[in-house]
Structure 1
Amino acid sequence: MVTPRLQSISDEPDTEPHRAPVTTSTQTPIVAPVERSFDIVLIAAVLLLLVIGTVEVFSASAVLGFKRHGDSMYFVKRQMMWIVLGSGVLWFSANTGYQWLRRWTYPLLAVTLLLLVAVLFSRPVNGAKRWFLLGPMSFQPVEIAKLALVGYLAYSLSKKADKVKQFTIGFVPHILVCAVMMGLLLMQPDLGSSVILGTTTLILLFVAGAKLSYLLLAVLAAAPVAYMLIVGTPWRMQRFLAFFNPEAYSLGVAYQSVQASIAIGSGGFTGLGLGEGRQQLGYMLEGHNDYIMASVGEELGFVGFALVIALFAVIVWRGIRAAVGARDIFGSYVAFGITVTFAIQALINTGVVLGALPAKGLTLPFVSYGGSSLLMAMFFAGLLLNIGRRAPARSRRRELVNRVGGARRRRPKAVIVVPR
């Protein structure tokens, strides 16, 4: 009896006889990282916010710039200068691997703590010691503190992944570092930024898997401190009372809040039009800065206000997307920490303008007039772009095909050949 033998016959000639055979194993092939494209949606959202912010900064500060500096375009010129510098910062952070933040975690943390201490000996501005004055420019170390804290939490949580649930290893060190930063910020004083750092820390610990009982313990421990900071400080107590009855303090601590409510109410659904706002005629002094959303609401109405909120929602969405699709757990924590920082700051700023939160001196990222705050916001956006770079499906498929055997070919057919 003749035993048949199997012979593989391909429909196409094998022009590359030395090519490695295609594996049929069920194991996933190891593929080198492919070149990824930047997140166009995130870039578009950031650019739109910058455009809206630049227009509103000019509209809200033209009268103020003319009165103080004799130039109605004084503030918008400086804003455009910061945007140009920020564009370079964004490009650098988007094209430089974010792993440098892992290597420089502790040096950056040490420098940040030194800056937060040094600023306490600086010259006060409006009763607060938050800025280093460098000639015509100023710098807030709290912006560096945001990056340092997020980098430290990402590095530590990724390193202690299996010990996060332990109280002394996974919870106490992170809370202590955050508490030291918050304490230095409260000495400036800067309650708003300290709230951002504390909330970011708790949310990242929650995402990392820390026990809810530990997080609740931290909140309960901070409650008496917050109570003493409010009750024990006269001007904070006045702001707290003005939150519930702004009309009674309309000529004092609630002046800006009342003017913001008037501006938003007069804007209606579609607004009064660009340059037609009335509160910018000397009634609202911070209309280009902390209360920029009041200017947006007055001139662009509910439509413009909702558009800005929607753009921040897009940034949060793309930030979470970048965190979920990051190449490593460190990058995932960094992206999530940056996203949480953006979300909390935008939420607090908008809540203050709408009268839903007590007054806090916080800018709106990408929109408010600012120097170091705008630069750091664009640096954070570049980090999100760097972490969230993704490859299109076709490019990824082509890379897989090239790795396992070149161009796609029909699967060889097995036929039975019986010799005569």
Structure 2
Amino acid sequence: MIDKPLLAGVMVLLTLSLVMSYSLSTYTVVHFHYSDFHFFIRQSMAVFIGFITMVLLSKMDPDRWFSRIGLLLFFVFFILMIVMQFLPSSLVNAVGGAKRWIRVGPMSIAPVEFFKVGFIFFLSWSFSRKLLDKTKMGFWEEVRAFTPYLFVFLVAVVLIAVFQKDLGQVVVLGVTLTILFLFIGSSWKFFLTLITAGLTAFIGLIFFAPHRMARIKSWWGTVQDNILSVLPFDAAQSLRIEAGKEPYQISNSLNAIHNGGFFGQGLGNGQFKLGYLSEVHTDFILAGITEELGFLGLTLVTLTMLFIVFRIFKIASKVKSPMYYLFSIGAGLLIALAFIVNTYGISGITPIKGIAVPFLSYGGSHIWASCIAIGMVLMISKKVPRDSRGRMR
């Protein structure tokens, strides 16, 4: 029996995604002279494909199909991320010089979304085969044992952060990898060394990319007064920069959230979607939801997302196979971290990273990839012991 509460939670968010893709795309539809249902139809196709894939995966025997599907995801989309850089512009959509989408007929696929799921499988599959049965290792033995995984991750960093200029996805993958290292029993010394090295590399990727430095300075200019107010005057002055024009996306996102109040302006009645927040149905969908459905609507979305992550982690805690356990933990982390990075970005707590909200943001690739991840977790959930009422034991 699959975990029906998990499936129900995902379907709630996918349904809301359809509603909001119609409501929030008003300005874009008018501006580009699309039909009223342009984005709704496209999102409906993505949700339908994702739902069918999720259901089909949930019905498969995990002992037979789980590893095959996971390895296929990892190798196919890892190769596609490499090959994509050499494909002509007629086959690849480039944004700001970064090639992120491959055209397949009338649709585009972002390989990185599927690679994330494959990468989590690869880690869980390899860790369960090579590392979980090892006794306590010394620091340098840990370094040797984990180096192959770090090498694969570094290749992914180059492909995603350098060629695709998408540091947000690297942050999500890097944090997930680090936490999984801790779950399989790495020492705190190695764990802290890895965090230090990761932060150093993260800062380096920012300093050597002018567009990222400009984004950091722009963000710091908007939050420095609140942060520096708690520091001594001399120290605060040394860290203060001349505040430029406030980023309009963050400013309008915060205004949209504030305008929503507790109960919202009503479905379809948002004002900031009318050209103030560009592409609000994608990365800023939570701001659009808050304006139209209010703090209450945002709270229900957040609780549903937490419920989904909770059910995934509960499945992980009950399943006996180390591979299934690690994959479920990784899938839950991918969803939770993407949600956190997006919410922090639209609220101005951190710079905007361009991470889609799982199951909500407009876009076929991330919807399909998220449904694949959930389908594989539902496949795993059939291995969880249950009582006569179907509840996990």
TM range (shorter): 0.7 to 0.9
| Alignment match of 2:84 (pick from 94, 113, 119) | 119
- Identity value in percent: 32
TM-score in terms of structure 1 length:
0.81
Using the alignment, how far apart are the partners of 2:354 and 2:143 within structure 1? 35
TM-score in terms of structure 2 length:
0.86
CA contact (8 A) 2:318 2:385 kept: no
**1:102 aligned to 2:67?**
yes
| Alignment match of 1:161 (pick from 126, 129, 132) | 132
1:181 aligned partner, one-letter code: A
Q: Which moved more, 1:343-352 or 1:115-124?
A: 115-124
Equivalent residue, structure 1, for 2:114:
144
1:333 aligned partner, one-letter code: L
Using the alignment, how far apart are the partners of 1:189 and 1:214 within structure 2? 29
Using the alignment, how far apart are the partners of 1:277 and 1:193 within structure 2? 30
**1:89 aligned to 2:89?**
no
1:119 aligned partner, one-letter code: M
1:105-154 Cα distance to aligned partner (Å, 9 max, x none): 65653333321112223432243211112232111110221122111111
Using the alignment, how far apart are the partners of 1:109 and 1:317 within structure 2? 25
Equivalent residue, structure 2, for 1:54:
18
Using the alignment, how far apart are the partners of 1:396 and 1:111 within structure 2? 36
CA contact (8 A) 1:157 1:170 kept: no
Cα RMSD for the two superposed structures = 2.1
Equivalent residue, structure 1, for 2:157:
182
The CA deviation at 1:38 is: 2.1
The CA deviation at 1:301 is: 0.9
Distance change in 2, residues 1:144/1:250 (3 Å): same
The CA deviation at 1:61 is: 0.3
Equivalent residue, structure 1, for 2:371:
378
Secondary structure of 1:138's partner?
A: strand
Using the alignment, how far apart are the partners of 1:249 and 1:121 within structure 2? 38
CA contact (8 A) 1:246 1:257 kept: no
Secondary structure of 2:360's partner?
A: coil
The CA deviation at 1:103 is: 4.3
**1:245 aligned to 2:238?**
no
**1:393 aligned to 2:387?**
yes
Larger Rg: 1
Matches for 1:5-404 after TM superposition, within 5 Å = 37-99=1-63, 100-103=65-68, 108-122=73-87, 123=89, 124-159=94-129, 160-163=131-134, 165=137, 166-187=141-162, 188-246=164-222, 248-250=243-245, 254-389=247-382, 390=384, 392-394=386-388
1:6-28 Cα distance to aligned partner (Å, 9 max, x none): xxxxxxxxxxxxxxxxxxxxxxx
Using the alignment, how far apart are the partners of 1:147 and 1:226 within structure 2? 22
Show structure 1 runs of 5+ residues with no match: 1-36, 398-420
The CA deviation at 1:391 is: 5.2
CA contact (8 A) 2:28 2:279 kept: no
Q: Which moved more, 1:95-104 or 1:75-84?
A: 95-104
Q: Which moved more, 1:144-153 or 1:313-322?
A: 144-153
Q: How many residues were matched structurally?
A: 359
CA contact (8 A) 1:321 1:388 kept: no
